Amino acid sequence: MMENKVKRFCLRVLAAGWLGFMLPAAWADASHVRQLLEAKVPRLAPHVKSVTAANALNLYELYTDDRQILYTDENVNFLFAGDILDARTLQNLTQARMKVLGAVHITDLPLDLAMKKVKGNGKRQLVVFSDPDCPFCRKLEQELESITDVTIYTFIFPIGSLHPDAPQRAHWIWCAPDRQKAWDDYLLHKVMPKKQECHDSLQDIQNLAARYRIDGTPTLIFADGEMVPGVIPRDDLEQALGKH
């Protein structure tokens, strides 16, 4: 993870005094910053997917392959990790950019590894990374029960460090003749999945989650690529599905 290579601290624009530390107004070209990055920080450069002007403090935004935003000056003398806030509105500019840069397109996901549940006309789409023993995942399933006209793709993502029995139960659910039914029975009705053996693809899902920096459940991905962690109440979920 890049956070192990760059010491994190918050860069927050909350006072006019920050202006005294701004860099010269003439910005370098992004391609020149990329060249300097390759020369000065060769270990980082291959992991930087894009270099663009950050439109704040004359910094440049570096978006990495492990889904982080870093910042640097035009001479690549310093690297910054943290959030930039607009002092007038207190809008988190870094988070706003992450919604754009970090969008996860559903069509890019290996949906053959997910359970597919079509409700009503299935027109709307939702992806969920879920742990069978996560109480918040169980709550989400309850919230989804009364929502229709949606196709739900569920990636079985047990987190053994939090729920020691989840990997085994996830394996049994995967091996069930009807995974979706076994999943629904367990999460909605507390019917323990039948013990059975097969070759599963749960490690592939673990790798997928790591690629997108998903480390908690439930994690929801909407049709426009927005990723939202945690449970969303039914009415808010309905509204969110309508927007996406």
CATH number of the domain within which 137 lies: 3.40.30.10
Instruction: Tell me the CB-side half-sphere exposure of residue 167, using CA atoms within 13 A.
Output: 10
Statement to judge: residues 191 and 225 lie in one domain: yes
Statement to judge: residues 113 and 221 lie in one domain: yes
Cα 180 from Cα 144, distance rounded (Å): 14
Using 50, 70 and 90 to split pLDDT, how confident is the model at 244?
low
Statement to judge: residues 91 and 173 lie in one domain: no
Which sign does the torsion angle of CA 29, 32, 37, 38 carry? positive
Asked whether 74 and 23 are in contact (CB, 8 A), the reply is: yes
Cα 179 from Cα 5, distance rounded (Å): 40
Statement to judge: residues 88 and 110 lie in one domain: no
Statement to judge: residues 96 and 128 lie in one domain: no
Cα 231 from Cα 132, distance rounded (Å): 14
**Predicted TM-score of the model (pTM):** 0.74
Q: Which of 67, 101, 135 is the last residue of a domain?
A: 101
Statement to judge: residues 126 and 166 lie in one domain: yes
In sequence order, the 6+-apart residues with CB closer than 8 A to the CB of 156 are 115, 130, 132, 170, 173, 174, 179, 183, 202, 205
Asked whether 129 and 123 are in contact (CB, 8 A), the reply is: no
In sequence order, the 6+-apart residues with CB closer than 8 A to the CB of 229 are 216, 218, 219, 220
Domain that holds residue 44: 2-101
Statement to judge: residues 128 and 85 lie in one domain: no
Statement to judge: residues 112 and 165 lie in one domain: yes
Q: pLDDT tens digit string along 192-233?
A: 999 999 999 999 999 999 999 899 999 999 998 989 999 999
- How many domains is the chain partitioned into structurally? 2
Backbone torsions φ then ψ of 168, nearest 5 degrees: -65, -45
Q: pLDDT tens digit string along 127-167?
A: 999 999 999 999 999 999 999 999 999 999 999 999 999 99
Statement to judge: residues 92 and 169 lie in one domain: no
Statement to judge: residues 84 and 145 lie in one domain: no
Statement to judge: residues 183 and 80 lie in one domain: no
Candidates 150, 148, 166; CA nearest to 158 is 166
Lowest mean pLDDT among 12-26, 59-73, 77-91, 192-206: 12-26
Statement to judge: residues 37 and 94 lie in one domain: yes
